[in-house]
Amino acid sequence: MEIYLVRHTTPRVEKGICYGQSDLDISDSFELESKEILEKINFDSETKVYSSPSKRCTKLAALFNPIFKEDKRILEINFGDWELKKWDDIPSEEMTPWMTDFVNVKVPNGESYVELNKRSNEFYNEVIRNAASKNIIVCHSGVIRSILAKLTETALKDSFDIKIVYGQVSKITINKTTEVHISI
């Protein structure tokens, strides 16, 4: 079984803006970026395709297969009150506790990384149970890091050492003896 975790392409957003679940559109580089991604994965009409409901994911998922399944569990972290604010404009009394323990501390009116981890891995486990031989999941860096952290037994606090760039494809291969191989 093959599972491809694909991070969306570059979103249309100014640098330095905090965004998570904000429904950003794609940038002008989408055509070039998506072409490069499509060339990395051998897929066909039997490939199951899943996507975060965010536009920046669904537009890419539709290129793999116009009939794909959206799932809210693979949305990016909910940054609550910080959504679409400049990182520099977030009050330090809110930012400091989160920066000190971003794994457990909830963003005001948002969620913690632990909550993202729980829903992401719940989704991943469901895909494994119902998987086709080839699966593509188009989602976000937080979700991908969360899943890869579980598979590599990396502590969540260290998972940001796993670099996930726009358009990155991470391939997970699971053989019949349930061995897992990851190519990032």
> What is the DSSP track for 124-158?
HHHHHHH--SEEEEEE-HHHHHHHHHHHHT--GGG
Q: What is the pLDDT of residues 67-105, one digit of tens each?
A: 999 999 999 999 999 999 999 999 999 999 999 999 999
- Predicted pLDDT of residue 175: 78
Q: What is the pLDDT of residues 8-49, one digit of tens each?
A: 999 999 999 999 999 999 999 999 999 999 999 999 988 999
For residue 162, the 8-state DSSP code is: S
- Residue with the bigger pLDDT between 105 and 183: it is 105
Rounded-to-integer distance, Cα 134 and Cα 49, Å: 9
- Predicted pLDDT of residue 174: 84
